[in-house]
Amino acid sequence: MQFDEMTSKMAAGNGFIAALDQSGGSTPKALKGYGIEESAYSGEAEMFGLIHQMRSRIITAASFTGDKVIGAILFERTMDGEVDGKPTPQALIARGVVPFIKIDKGLEDEVNGVQLMKPMPELDALLTRAKALGVYGTKERSVINSANREGIAAVVKQQFEVGAQVLAHGMMPMIEPEVNIKSETRAECDQILLEEILKNLEALPEGQQVMLKLSLPTKPGLFDPLVDHPKVLRVVALSGGYKRPEACVELSKNRGIIASFSRALLEDLRHQMSDDDFNASLGGAIDEIHAASTAKALSPA
């Protein structure tokens, strides 16, 4: 797939995006969920080797194809590794799956109810390397914990500034200002976030587009103006801590939004499974998330 083909797939593809981008801090938890305890490995190299084996097993599974999984987000080390003897991005492309890379380096401490992204001084070098490997776009995450307009405005401003840097490299930014689903002011956060994103979209140069990765809103349909916006290529949703059944129910209430799930995709997979059981479990999860992404619940009359 060339860049334009990947853009077309992201714009209109009938599927969802797999988030396979757990990084250093969240890798032990991801491995534990997969059935591998911390006592089973020592040091970062072994830990990342095991998580790469897990991701390779997912990517090469029979059900993991571009028919239902239209994109996948990779951690930097996964991008730099190989699957089936190919660089991971090329292995994804061969299966019809558009590759993205997580570029943020974690979160700052909370200020004004939000956590901004840490500085990324080596971002230009990473983008150059990712582009050369065939990566289509990026994903960058901030967190919103409370309905503080100053804080939320700062998150969105930083996200769009990083997005501009990504666009300058000829890549597609997936902007992720995550609203904490446990926030006591979640509905207000959703509304302020919508308003701030719309402001920044208006300031985006004509002809440019971004993708948005958002927490599912408390009010179904709230993000319709973003789904319909000409400067938004696609709106995708994170599971944000919901288990898969609940995440899929909430997703199905929001037209035009597709999944970009991580834990909700992988929650039933275990290292100890036979290949047949692993493939069946992954295939069932893919079918369930695909249905919620593409077959939307009817709004009440």
Can you give the pTM of this predicted structure? 0.94
The one catalytic residue in 9, 68, 102, 213 is: 213
The one catalytic residue in 68, 102, 176, 178 is: 176
For the domain made up of 3-8+16-293, the CATH class stated in words is: alpha beta
C-alpha count within 13 angstroms, C-beta hemisphere, residue 74: 33
Contact predicate 211/11, CB 8 Å: no
Is 80 exceeded by the pLDDT of residue 300?
no
Q: How confident is the model at residue 26, as a pLDDT?
A: 78
What span, in angstroms and rounded, lies between the C-alpha atoms of 58 and 250?
A: 25
Give me the amino acid identity at 116.
L
What span, in angstroms and rounded, lies between the C-alpha atoms of 221 and 177?
A: 18
> Is 110 one of the catalytic residues?
no
List of residues 6+ apart from 3 with CB closer than 8 A:
136, 170
Q: Where are the domains of the chain?
A: 3-8+16-293
Q: Is the dihedral of CA 243, 245, 186, 115 positive or negative?
A: positive
Q: How confident is the model at residue 299, as a pLDDT?
A: 52
Please state the rounded mean pLDDT for residues 213-223: 97
| 258: β partners | 236
What span, in angstroms and rounded, lies between the C-alpha atoms of 98 and 246?
A: 26
CA distance to 216, 240, 241, 243, per residue, from 182 (Å) = 12, 9, 9, 14
Length of the chain: 301
Band (pLDDT 50/70/90 cuts) for residue 301 is very low
- Separation of CA 212 from chain center: 9
202 torsion bin: left (phi>0), alpha (psi -120 to 50), beta (else): alpha
Taking only the tens place, the pLDDT of each residue in 54-104 is 999 999 999 999 999 999 999 999 999 999 999 999 999 999 999 999 999
Taking only the tens place, the pLDDT of each residue in 137-191 is 999 999 999 999 999 999 999 999 999 999 999 999 999 999 999 999 999 999 9
Taking only the tens place, the pLDDT of each residue in 35-50 is 999 999 998 889 989 9
> Is 176 one of the catalytic residues?
yes
Share of the chain above pLDDT 90, in %: 89
